[in-house]
Amino acid sequence: MTTAIADRRRLEGPRFKATPASAVLVLVIIVVAVIAAFPLAWMILTSLKTPQETMQVPPVWLPGAPNLDAYTQVAEVVSLGRSFLNSAVIAVVTTTAIIVTSLMAGYAFAKYEFRYKEALFALLIATMFLPPIVTLIPLYRITGYLGLNASLAGVIVPNLANAFGIFLMRQFIKGVPDELIEAARVDGASELRVLFQIVTPAVMPAIAALVLFAFVYHWNSYLWPLTVLQGSADQYPIVISLSRLLSYNRGAMNTGLVMAGATLAVLPPVLLFVILQRFFVDSVVSSGVKG
Amino acid sequence: MGAATTTATSSRTKNRMTNTQHRSAVFMLAPATGLLAVFIIIPMLLTIWLSFQNWSTQTGFETATFVGVQNFIDIFASNSVGRDFKAALVNTALYTVGSVAIILPLSVLLGLLVHQKIAPGGVFLRTVLFSTYMVPMIAVALVFSKLYSPTEGPLNQILGWVGIPPQTWLSAPQTALFAIVILNVWQQVGYFTVLAVAGLTQIPDSLYEAAKIDGANPIQRFFSITLPLLGNTLLFSSVIAIINAVQVFEPVALITQGGPVNATNVLTYHIRRVGIERAQGGLGSAMAVTLMLALVVAIALLFAFARSRETKSA
DSSP secondary structure string, A199-217? IHHHTHHHHHHHHHHHHHH
| B31 contacts A246? CB cut-off 8 A | no
| B27 contacts A273? CB cut-off 8 A | no
Q: How far apart are the CA of A257 and the nearest CA of chain B, in angstroms?
A: 11
Q: What is the DSSP letter of A158?
A: G
B40 and B82 assigned to the same domain: no
Segment B204-247, tens digit of pLDDT: 989 998 998 988 888 999 999 999 999 999 999 999 999 999 99
Asked, for residue A172, whether it belongs to a domain, the answer is yes
| A157 contacts B134? CB cut-off 8 A | no
Residue B249, chain A, CB below 8 Å: the answer is yes
Segment B245-291, tens digit of pLDDT: 999 999 999 888 888 888 999 999 999 999 999 999 999 999 999 99
Chain B's closest residue to A244, CA to CA, is B254
Q: What are phi and psi of A189, to 5 degrees?
A: -75, 140
Give pTM, 2 decimals. 0.90
Nearest residue to B226 (alpha-carbon basis) of B303, B116, B144: B116
| A131 contacts B254? CB cut-off 8 A | no
| A25 contacts B119? CB cut-off 8 A | yes
- Number of structural domains chain A divides into: 2
Q: What are phi and psi of A222, to 5 degrees?
A: -130, -45
Asked, for residue A4, whether it belongs to a domain, the answer is no
A133 and A217 assigned to the same domain: yes
B9 and B128 assigned to the same domain: no
Asked, for residue A101, whether it belongs to a domain, the answer is yes
B135 and B78 assigned to the same domain: yes
Asked, for residue A7, whether it belongs to a domain, the answer is no
| B25 contacts A114? CB cut-off 8 A | yes
Residues of chain A with pLDDT under 70: 1-15, 247-253, 281, 284-291
pLDDT in the model for residue A290: 42
pLDDT at B111 exceeding the cut of 70 = yes
Asked, for residue A12, whether it belongs to a domain, the answer is no
State the pLDDT confidence band at B314, using cuts at 50, 70 and 90: low
pLDDT at B292 exceeding the cut of 80 = yes
| A133 contacts B50? CB cut-off 8 A | no
B288 and B174 assigned to the same domain: yes
Contacts of B256 (CB under 8 A, 6+ apart): B170, B176, B180, B263, B264
Q: Mean pLDDT across the stretch B11-17?
A: 54
B37 and B96 assigned to the same domain: no
A154 and A252 assigned to the same domain: yes
- Number of structural domains chain B divides into: 2
- Residues of chain B in contact with residue A112, where contact means CB-CB under 8 angstroms, are 21, 24-25, 28
Q: What percent of chain B has pLDDT over 70?
A: 93
A241 and A259 assigned to the same domain: yes
B110 and B218 assigned to the same domain: yes
A142 and A96 assigned to the same domain: yes
Q: What percent of chain B has pLDDT over 90?
A: 73
Question: Which of 51-110 (B) contact A at CB < 8 A?
Answer: 57, 60-61, 110
Where does residue B22 rank: exposed (0-12), middle (13-18), buried (19+ CB within 10 A)?
middle
Asked, for residue B65, whether it belongs to a domain, the answer is no
Domain boundary among A32, A48, A72: A72
Domain boundary among A57, A72, A87: A72
Q: Which of B15, B22, B36 to mutate to test the interface with A (most CBs of A within 10 A)?
A: B36
pLDDT in the model for residue B264: 94
B24 and B142 assigned to the same domain: no
Domain boundary among B35, B50, B65: B50
Segment B75-84, tens digit of pLDDT: 999 999 999 9
CATH number (domain holding residue A278) = 1.10.3720.10
B39 and B85 assigned to the same domain: no
Segment B41-65, tens digit of pLDDT: 999 999 999 999 999 999 999 999 9
Q: Which alpha helices (H) appear in chain B, and where do they start and end?
A: 2-36, 42-50, 70-75, 80-115, 122-131, 137-147, 154-161, 173-201, 205-213, 218-221, 227-229, 231-245, 250-251, 267-272, 281-313
Q: How far apart are the CA of A260 and the nearest CA of chain B, in angstroms?
A: 10
Chain A's closest residue to B37, CA to CA, is A124
A100 and A219 assigned to the same domain: yes
B227 and B112 assigned to the same domain: yes
Asked, for residue B139, whether it belongs to a domain, the answer is yes
Asked, for residue A8, whether it belongs to a domain, the answer is no
Are A237 and A290 in contact by the 8 Å Cβ rule? The answer is: no
B99 and B43 assigned to the same domain: no
Among A37, A54, A108, beta carbon nearest to B128: A37
Nearest residue to B84 (alpha-carbon basis) of B245, B282, B247, B284: B284
Asked, for residue A2, whether it belongs to a domain, the answer is no
Among A57, A137, A246, beta carbon nearest to B288: A137
- Residues of chain B in contact with residue A157, where contact means CB-CB under 8 angstroms, are 39
B145 and B238 assigned to the same domain: yes
Are A46 and A258 in contact by the 8 Å Cβ rule? The answer is: no
* Residue range of the domain that includes A31: 18-72
Domain boundary among A36, A55, A72: A72
Among A130, A141, A243, beta carbon nearest to B61: A141
Rounded CA separation A13/A11 (Å) = 5
State the pLDDT confidence band at B7, using cuts at 50, 70 and 90: very low
pLDDT in the model for residue B1: 39
CATH number (domain holding residue B222) = 1.10.3720.10
Contacts of B141 (CB under 8 A, 6+ apart): B183, B250, B251, B254, B255
Q: How far apart are the CA of A163 and the nearest CA of chain B, in angstroms?
A: 8
Residue A218 region by backbone torsions, left for phi larger than 0, else alpha for psi between -120 and 50, else beta: alpha
* Residue range of the domain that includes B24: 2-50
- Residues of chain B in contact with residue A32, where contact means CB-CB under 8 angstroms, are 110, 113, 125, 129
Measured at the CA of B15, the angle between CA B11 and CA B16, to 5 degrees, comes to 115
Task: Count the neighbouring beta carbons within 10 Å of the beta carbon of residue B302.
Answer: 16
Asked, for residue B252, whether it belongs to a domain, the answer is yes
Per-residue CA distances from A193 to A106, A174, A197 (Å):
15, 17, 5
Q: How far apart are the CA of A81 and the nearest CA of chain B, in angstroms?
A: 18
pLDDT in the model for residue A249: 53
Segment B140-154, tens digit of pLDDT: 999 999 899 888 889
B32 and B97 assigned to the same domain: no
- Residues of chain B in contact with residue A123, where contact means CB-CB under 8 angstroms, are 41
Rounded CA separation A280/B212 (Å) = 35
A35 and A102 assigned to the same domain: no
Asked, for residue B56, whether it belongs to a domain, the answer is no
Mean pLDDT of chain B: 90
Asked, for residue A59, whether it belongs to a domain, the answer is yes
- Residues of chain A in contact with residue B35, where contact means CB-CB under 8 angstroms, are 101, 158, 160-161
A25 and A85 assigned to the same domain: no
Where does residue B306 rank: exposed (0-12), middle (13-18), buried (19+ CB within 10 A)?
middle
| B190 contacts A107? CB cut-off 8 A | no
pLDDT in the model for residue B267: 97
Among B129, B202, B246, beta carbon nearest to A289: B202
- Residues of chain B in contact with residue A195, where contact means CB-CB under 8 angstroms, are 28
Q: Residues B254-258: contacts with CB within 8 Å, 24+ apart?
A: B254/A243, B254/A246, B254/B138, B254/B141, B254/B142, B254/B145, B255/A246, B255/B141, B255/B145, B255/B170, B256/B170, B256/B176, B256/B180
| A265 contacts B139? CB cut-off 8 A | yes
| A138 contacts B120? CB cut-off 8 A | no
